[in-house]
Amino acid sequence: MATEALTGQEPATEPPSRGRSYAARRRLAPLWLMTPGGVYLLVFLIIPMGILVYTSLQSGGAFSGRFYFDWDFANYTDQIVQYESQLIRSVTYSVIVTIACLLLAYPMTYWIAFYAGRWKSSILLLILLPFFVSFVIRTVQWRFLLADDGILFGPLKDLGLMSDSFHVLSTPYAVVAGITYNFLPFTALPLYVALDRIDRSLVEAAKDLYSSRWEAFRHVVWPLSLPGVFAAFLLTFVPATGDYVNAAILGGPGTTMIGNIIQAKFLSELNYPEAAALSVILMVAMLILATAYARVLGTEDDTLTATI
């Protein structure tokens, strides 16, 4: 029993002649396997996040370029007050984006998972294809598509179907549309995994019990797809809040998001503590949501990652 619990092996599968040293080796095997990658993740994922928090509590002269650590929590309050409007705007955009992504992706993935039959993986591939191209390039193409005289609006304006002053670029619409476009696969993949996993016989059973299509969806499919909805929310909401590429490429002066501030402070102003404070706020939001997700569904639930 003891070895079974430690190694996850059924004792019967161990050749008896090898005895204890074999069991010990099996117990150590996962540690050996984990060590190189684990150390790497520790050094280049966990420790940097700690240092981000450390940096966010530094203070120092923006002129001298030297910072020292002194538990400067004022970084947080100052930044939140100063960039309140950008923070609110980022969250607002992200809420709209997340809802739009879910509304667009759910019917699509539902159809693929339940009705596309043997074409399933091919259609899924079609959906993922655009994401072989760097998202900077895709976003730039949207700028040309949405341009005032671009191939979408140009002909409409020439025909007089649209007023000449109509424009989308540099407005919040362009930014929200751009983020929605870029985050759609992160919403679609977990939804697809969750929907595809639903046992079809449950839906059949509901129908045998005289439920309508809608009732079967409402009481069987929808509740079973909720892990996918949560995972989609997790992969879309906080990352979309922190996005700055869409605002930079598609937006204008009135669409600055919190990501643009973080990026400018880190890379142009070199004011690391202030930038780090804003970044930590995003990190904490993510940690809270991720912890909640892990609590509810467990860390081994791979709805989040199964199609990768």
Partner 1 sequence: MSMAEVAAARSTGTEPAPLNEPRKRWTRFILPGFTWLMIVYLTLPIFVMIMWSFNDIPVVGSPRQTPKFWGFTLHWWRDLFGIAGLSDALKTSLFIAPISAFAATALGTLIGLALGRYRFRGKAPVNFVIFLAIAVPEIVLGSSLLSMFVLAQAPPIGKITILLSHIGFSIAFVAVTVRARVQGLDRALEDAAQDLFANPVTTFFKITLPLIAPAILAGFLLAFVLSLDDFVITNFVSGTESTFPVWVYGATRIGLPPQVNVMGTLLFGAGLFLAVLNVVVQRRRARS
What span, in angstroms and rounded, lies between the C-alpha atoms of 237 and 230? 10
Interface stretch with partner 1, choices 74-82, 160-168, 275-283 (CB under 8 A): 275-283
Site for partner 1, residues 37 to 56, rule: CB under 8 A: 37-38, 40-41, 44-49, 51-52, 54-55
Site for partner 1, residues 6 to 35, rule: CB under 8 A: 6-8, 13, 15, 25-27, 29-31, 33-34
Contact between 154 and partner 1 per CB under 8 A:
yes
Site string for partner 1, 83-122 (x = CB under 8 A): ---------------------x--xx-xxx-xxxxx-xxx
Among 1, 5, 159, 209, binds partner 1 (CB under 8 A): 5
Shortest Å, Cβ 284 to partner 1: 10
Contact between 263 and partner 1 per CB under 8 A:
yes
Interface stretch with partner 1, choices 73-81, 124-132, 155-163 (CB under 8 A): 124-132
Shortest Å, Cβ 115 to partner 1: 5
What are the residue ranges of helices labelled H in 146-271? Answer: 153-158, 172-197, 200-208, 213-216, 222-242, 245-250, 258-267
Among 190, 189, 172, 195, which residue's Cα sits nearest to residue 95? 172
- Type of residue numbered 51: I
Contact between 144 and partner 1 per CB under 8 A:
yes
Shortest Å, Cβ 277 to partner 1: 10
Among 206, 231, 212, 208, which residue's Cα sits nearest to residue 296? 231
- Type of residue numbered 78: D
Shortest Å, Cβ 149 to partner 1: 6
Tokens of 118: 């043997």
Site string for partner 1, 188-217 (x = CB under 8 A): --------xx--x--xx-------------
Among 238, 255, 237, which residue's Cα sits nearest to residue 246? 255
Long-range contacts of 117-123 (CB under 8 A, 24+ apart): 120/196
Q: DSSP readout, 94-132?
A: HHHHHHHHHHHHHHHHHHHHHH-GGGHHHHHHHHHGGGG
Are the beta carbons of 171 and 250 closer than 8 angstroms? Answer: no
Contact between 299 and partner 1 per CB under 8 A:
yes
Interface stretch with partner 1, choices 71-79, 81-89, 132-140, 160-168 (CB under 8 A): 132-140
The size of the chain, in residues, is: 308
Interface stretch with partner 1, choices 72-80, 81-89, 156-164, 298-306 (CB under 8 A): 298-306
Q: Which is nearer to partner 1, 114 or 173 (CB)?
A: 114
Site string for partner 1, 220-259 (x = CB under 8 A): --------------xx--xx-xxxxx--xx---------x
Burial 168-177 (b: 16+ CB within 10 A, else e): bbbbbebbbb
Shortest Å, Cβ 81 to partner 1: 21
